[in-house]
Chain A
C-alpha cells in the first residue's frame, strides 16, 4: 500500500488554509438509510468547505456506498435527512437534480470508451456543441481544453483513450465530470476508489490532479482503502464503520495505526501483526527440487522471466504495470499463451495456453480481474466455488447438493464469508471482499501445490485483506508454493518470504529474509531504476 514513490509538486499546498466563510460545498445532516428494516447508514452528519479534500474510509458494507448513492440521487434516505450542495438544498431521489446542483461522481470503472478519442469521450454523454446542426469541433476543442486546464491535465485530445496511462484516464473522467454544461460550476466531486487499480507512480500523478482540482474550489470526497494516500494529500479524514460515522480528524492529527484500529477494530489489528511475526519464523528448505520452475518465458513485455518456487514459499513479484509483471502469472498458468520459454511444474512441462493442463498439475490461479476473469457473477457462490471440481458430488447420475452445500459451508466458516448463509445466493450479491474470498476458496479446496495470486487484495476492504493473507499463509504452511504478483508493497512485505523485483520484462533483483520489508523493496526498486524511467515519471507529475 505504500506509495512512497517520487512526489511532484503539490505536497505543500495540500495543507493550504481552506476558504473560510461562504456556503459549505456540501452539508449533510442526519442522513440515515434503512433497507427492509436494516439500517445501513445511521445519522450521518458532515460539512465540507469548498476546496477541501476529504478522505472517506470504511470497510465494505460500512455504508459508504449507500451515502454516495444517496448524494447521487439513487437512494431516498429515511425521513429527517437534510443535504445542501453549494448552499442549495438537495431534494432526494433525483439523479438529474443532484447533477444540476453540482454533484459529480467518478467511479473505479470510469465509463470511458477505450477505442474513442479523448475529445469524443468528453462529449459522449453531454452532446457536442453544435453550429447549424453540425458538430462544432473548434468550440468542442476549446471547451475540452478549458476543462483539462482546470485540473492541470495536458493530453492530446485526438488520441484514443486506450493510449493513455491509467492515471490520465482517471483524470480524463474527472475533467469530463467537471464540465459545467451551462449550469453552476460543480461544487462537489466524489471519487470512489479511483486508485484501486493504479500502480504507485500513477497514483501520485492522480493525487496531483486532484490537488489542482480542489485548489480551483471544488470540494472532493475521496473514498479509498489506501491509508498511505492520506498524508500530504487530504485535509480531513472520516471513518465509517457499520453504518456509523466513527469520527472526523484533521489529516495531520491522526496516524495510520489509529485509523486502522478505527476501521477494523483492534482484534484484527493484533492478528495482522501476529501474521507478520509468524512469517519471520518460517524457514524454507531450498535444497529440494523447486516445485515450479520457469525459464526464459517471453510474452509481450516479458523478455526473459526466470524463477523457481519451492513448496512452502510465498514469493512476491513487484513491478510497475508495463514491466511485464502484470502478465507473468497469467502466462505461467497458461491463461495467456506464452511466446517462448518453458514452465515446469514438479518435473512436467506445461504446454502454453492450456489452463486445464495447469489445473491437472495442481496449480491454481486467481486472476486480478475478479469480474471479468474470475467470478461468474450470476451463478451462486456455491457453484462458483465448486466449478473446478464437482466430481465428489456426482453420484448415481445426480449432482448431490447436500455434500456440496456442506463442503461450501465449511469454507464459508473457514474464511468468514458474509453473509454466512449465502451459499446459494448469486455471487454478484456479495461485496467485493467476500467475492474474492469465495474465489480464493475455489482454489484452496483443490489443495493446490502451486497457488498463483494476481493482485489478490485489490479493491477489497481491510478485513477481507487480512483474511486473504491469513489463508495464504495457512496454505503455505501446509506446503503450497504461493506466488503473489502485486503493486501493493505492504502486502508483499507482510506475507512474502521472498520478493522478486521485475523490470523491463525480467527479474532484476531478489530480496530474501530480512530484506523483505517495505523500504528495502522500494529501495531495490529505485536503486536500479534507469534514469530515463524516473525522468518520465517526473515529467508526468509535472505536466
Chain B
C-alpha cells in the first residue's frame, strides 16, 4: 500500500481541484448554487450512488464486472417494500432484502466461477432476470410506500442538517477501504486482478475470491437499494440510473489518490465531483437530458483517462494482448507492428 501523502500534485488530486472549480463556476453563475440545501441534496442523493459504486469497485479489482448492481438494488428495494406491506417487521424485511442481494451475488458468482460464463455476460443476464422478477413480485404495480416509522427514519433521520444515509456511506466506505488496503483479502483481490494465473500458481484461491467479490457486490447493492427506496420511495427505474454513474466513478476514481489503482476514496471523490457537476448544471438549466448526457460523457472520459494512466505506468503494447510486454522489447512498432507506447523509463 502506497501511502498517499498529501501534496498539490495534479496527478492525484485533479478530481478535488475539478470539484472546487465546479463550485466556483456555479457560485458565480447562479445564486441558487452555494446554499446549504444544495449540499444536503447532493449528500443524500449521492449516498446510494456511492454505495453502488463501491459495490462495482470490489469485483472490478479482481477483474470482474458486475453489471447487475443496479437491477439488484432496485429488486431488493421493491422486495423490502412488498414484505413490509405484507406485514413483516421492519428488521425482518430489511435483513431479508439485504440477504436477497447477497444471494443474487452468490448466483452471479456461481455463473461466473462454476459455469465459466464471463462476468460481463453473466451479470447482464442476471440483471435482466431481476428486472423481470421485480415485475412478478410487485404484479407490475408500484407498491405504496410502507407506513412503518422505522422504515423512513432509517435514512431520513437528520444529523446536523444531513440525512443519516450519508453516514452509512462513510461507514461502508471505511469498512471496504480497510478490507481492500489492510487485509490479505484485498491483497489477493488485487493480485488476481493483476494476473490471475500467476496468482493461482502462488496459491491464491482465485475462484473463491472472485466469487466472494461478487457476493459482496450483491450484498452492498441490496443494502443500497433498500436504503434508496426508504429515502425516495419505491420505483421500478432507479436501479438503471445508478449503474452508469457507478462505473464512471470507479474508473474516474482510479485516476485519483492512487493513480492506476481502483480505490475507495478516489471513487467517492469521483461520485461527488460528478454530482456537483450535474447539480450545478441542473440549476442553470432545467432540461431533462442533462444528467444522462453528463454521466455518459463522464464515463467515457473517465475510462479514457484511466487507460492512459495505466499504460503510462505500465506500458503494454496493446489492449488486445497481441503480444506480451518486454522491458527490452520496445520497438515492435518500428517494424510496423502493433500500436504501442514507448517506455519513458530507462531500464533499471
Query: Does A associate with B in a complex?
Result: yes
* Chain A interface helix/strand/loop/mixed: mixed
- Of the listed stretches B37-45, B183-191, B244-252, chain A binds B183-191
B233-262: contact bitstring with A at CB < 8 Å (1 yes, 0 no)? 000000000000000000000000000100
- Contacts A74-B331, A109-B329, A431-B347 known; list 6 others, CB within 8 Å: A109-B323, A110-B323, A367-B201, A378-B314, A388-B203, A401-B1
Cα of A401 to Cα of B183 in the assembled complex, Å:
11
Residue contact A432 to B327, C-beta cutoff 8 Å: yes
- A362 smallest CB distance to B (angstroms): 12
Q: Which of B203, B317, B335, B336 has the most A CB atoms < 10 Å from its CB? A: B335
> For the complex, is A61 an interface residue (Cβ under 8 Å from B)?
yes
Chain A-chain B contacts (Cβ-Cβ < 8 Å), number: 174
Assembly CA distance A379 to B184 (angstroms): 14
Contacts of A387 in B (CB 8 A): 187, 191, 199, 202, 204
Q: Judge whether B334 is part of the interface by a CB distance below 8 angstroms.
A: yes
Chain A residue with Cβ nearest B2: A424
Flag whether A69 is at the interface (Cβ < 8 A). yes
B194-211: contact bitstring with A at CB < 8 Å (1 yes, 0 no)?
110111111111000000
Contact for A65 among B187, B310, B330, CB less than 8 A? B330
Task: Say what secondary structure dominates the interface of chain B.
Answer: loop
| Residue in B183, B327, B348 whose CB lies within 8 Å of A422 | B348
Contact status A111-B332, CB under 8 Å: yes
Assuming the contacts A376-B195, A426-B314, A432-B328, asked whether A74 and B342 have C-beta atoms less than 8 A apart, the reply is: yes
B139 at the interface (CB under 8 A from A): no
A430 at the interface (CB under 8 A from B): yes
Whether B330 and A399, one on each chain, are in contact in the complex, defined by CB atoms closer than 8 angstroms, is: no
Residues A57-109 near B (CB distance < 8 A):
60-61, 64-66, 68-69, 72-75, 95, 98-99, 103-109
In the complex, whether A527 has a CB less than 8 A from a CB of chain B is no
Instruction: Please measure, in the bound complex, the distance between the C-alpha atom of A398 and the C-alpha atom of B180, giving whole angstroms.
Output: 11
Interface residues of A, Cβ cutoff 8 Å to B: 35, 38, 40, 60-61, 64-66, 68-69, 72-75, 95, 98-99, 103-111, 113, 124-126, 173, 176-177, 192-193, 333, 335, 355-356, 359, 365, 367, 371-379, 383, 387-388, 390-391, 394, 397-399, 401, 418-419, 422, 424, 426, 428-432, 434, 442
Q: Give me the interface of B with A, judged by CB distance under 8 Å.
A: 1-2, 178, 182-184, 187, 190-191, 194-195, 197-205, 260, 310, 313-315, 317, 322-338, 342, 345-348
CB–CB B187/A399 < 8 A: yes
**Cβ B202 vs Cβ A419 within 8 A:** no
24 A–B contacts, CB within 8 A, in A order: A35-B346, A60-B328, A65-B330, A66-B346, A68-B331, A105-B332, A107-B326, A109-B324, A111-B335, A111-B337, A192-B329, A356-B205, A379-B194, A383-B187, A387-B199, A390-B187, A394-B183, A394-B184, A397-B182, A422-B348, A428-B314, A428-B327, A429-B345, A432-B328
Separation of A65 and B334 alpha carbons in the complex (Å):
14
Complex CA gap A397/B186 in Å reads: 12
Please give, as numbers and ranges, the residues of chain A lying within 8 Å of B330 by CB-CB distance.
65, 68-69, 72, 74, 107
